[in-house]
Amino acid sequence: MNEDPQTTCACQDAPKKTSRRDFLLAAGFGLNAIAGAMIGLPLIGYLLTPFFKKNKLARIPLGPVENFPEGKTRFASYKNPMHREWDGQTADIPCWVRRIKGNEFQVFAINCTHLGCPVRWFEESKLFMCPCHGGAFYEDGSHAAGPPPRGLYTYEVKVENGELFIMGGVIPNLSNQTA
* Contacts to another protein by CB under 8 A: 48, 50-53, 55, 75, 77, 80, 82-94, 110-120, 122, 124-127, 129-134, 136, 138, 144-147, 149, 169-171, 173-176
Closest CB 158 distance from another protein, rounded Å: 20
Contacting residues for 67 by C-beta, under 8 A, at least 6 apart:
74, 76, 164
Side chain identity at residue 78, one-letter code: Y
Q: Which helix (H) or strand (E) covers residue 127, if one does?
A: strand 127-129
- For residue 158, the surrounding DSSP H or E stretch is strand 154-160
Rounded-to-integer distance, Cα 78 and Cα 91, Å: 8
> Is residue 87 within 8 Å of residue 78, measured between CB atoms?
no
Closer of 31 and 43 to another protein (Cβ):
43
The CB-of-140 to another protein minimum distance in angstroms stands at 10
Cβ nearer to another protein, comparing 152 with 169: 169
| Rounded distance between C-alpha atoms, residue 110 and residue 24, angstroms | 62
Closest Cα partner for 163 from 51, 63, 87? Answer: 63
Q: What is the smallest separation between the CB atom of 169 and another protein, expressed in angstroms?
A: 6
* Distance of alpha carbon 24 from alpha carbon 116, whole angstroms: 58
Closer residue to another protein, CB minimum distance, 8 or 55: 55
Looking at the Cβ atoms of 129 and 157, the one nearer to another protein is 129
**Residues 6 or more apart in contact with residue 11 via CB below 8 angstroms:** none
Q: Minimum distance from CB of 88 to another protein (Å)?
A: 3
Q: Please state the closest distance from residue 170 (CB atom) to another protein, in A.
A: 4
Instruction: Kindly tell me which of 87 and 104 has the beta carbon lying closer to another protein.
Output: 87
